[in-house]
A and B are shown apart, each in its own frame.
Chain A
Amino acid sequence: MSINVLVVDDSRVMRAMILKSLDLAGLPIDQTYQATNGQEGLEVLKQHGIDLVIVDVNMPIMNGEEMLDAMIKTPGLQDIPVLVISTESSVTRTSRLREKGAAFIHKPFKPETIRDTVQHIMEGK
């Protein structure tokens, strides 16, 4: 089954790197969507059927954790798996994200780490 992925990051270089990694990983990706902050990301989620959200933490307007909080409160969005990819290293913050149900990958990452993590997330869905 192919999946639709939304990548939310204010850096277009990082969005491109993540999309490239997904491509190289050989994952069954159907459509990919991009947003530059959490607010834009929520709009995309309302308009399209998304199976996986990959999101950064530090972004302007609405950060990744605020987007995750909004998804948890919104019927229809709360069950969409979220993978956070960030430079964030604070155990306090990363633990909080994991408690909210998100998987976490630290930057810099290897493409195979994204592949393995996405496979793990989608198998557990």
Chain B
Amino acid sequence: MNQQINRILGQITEDILEKLAFIFSSPEEEIDSIDKASSITGRVSFTGPFTGVLEMSISESALPELAGNMLGIDEDETTVELQQDALKELINVVCGNLLPAIAGKEIIFNVDAPQIVSSDDSATSERDVESEVKLELEEGQCDILLFLDGDIPSGLAGAE
């Protein structure tokens, strides 16, 4: 795994969780990966000078607060659909901030619409993980994984 990208991915995800959802998180390398059976996963694909997928899984227990904070409503008023939409927006913003942090702001990427994936989805199971960050939340956990098709071209800002 790429430690520099791990650091960038961790900082960006922490920052966006705080700014967008008012949720504080802390990186925890020693904890197990999130339990897929009790979490929701969002995925966004991108193409550009390098191509890949970003996946974010968040504990179901953390999603009502996350969606409620983002929407400015009580967490009891959030529905599963709203919680999934909140996760999709969150991963969209993380991806939009991650790619220029890796490749530089001159580079153009095309980012697909984010999707919610089922717990038995295996689309990324055969791919190499470029970066993985595990964040502990007050009400659960957030794992974020970056998968790339091939290597990041050398010479891109932030990738070296």
A binds B: yes
Instruction: Tell whether A108 pairs with B19 under 8 Å between CB atoms, given A13-B85, A16-B71, A89-B96.
Output: yes
The interface residues of chain B lying within 8 Å CB-to-CB of A108 are: 15-16, 19-20, 93, 97
Q: Are the C-beta atoms of A89 and B99 separated by less than 8 Å?
A: yes
Let me know if B113 is at the binding interface, CB within 8 A: yes
Let me know if B88 is at the binding interface, CB within 8 A: yes
Let me know if A17 is at the binding interface, CB within 8 A: yes
* Contact residue among B16, B72, B93, B105 (Cβ-Cβ distance under 8 Å from A90): B105
Q: Are the C-beta atoms of B108 and A93 separated by less than 8 Å?
A: yes
- A95-125 CB mask vs B (1 if < 8 Å, else 0) is 0000000000001101000000000000000
Q: Are the C-beta atoms of A13 and B86 separated by less than 8 Å?
A: yes
Q: What is the CA–CA distance of A108 and B82 in the complex, to the nearest angstrom?
A: 19
Let me know if B116 is at the binding interface, CB within 8 A: no
Question: In chain A, residues 1-43, which have Cβ atoms closer than 8 Å to a Cβ of chain B?
Answer: 10-14, 16-17, 20
Q: What is the CA–CA distance of A52 and B88 in the complex, to the nearest angstrom?
A: 26
Q: Which of A14, A20, A86 has the most chain B CB atoms closer than 10 A to its own CB? A: A14
B contact set with A: CB distance below 8 Å = 15-16, 19-20, 67, 70-72, 82, 85-86, 88-89, 92-93, 95-97, 99-100, 105-109, 111, 113
A contact set with B: CB distance below 8 Å = 10-14, 16-17, 20, 58, 60, 86-93, 107-108, 110
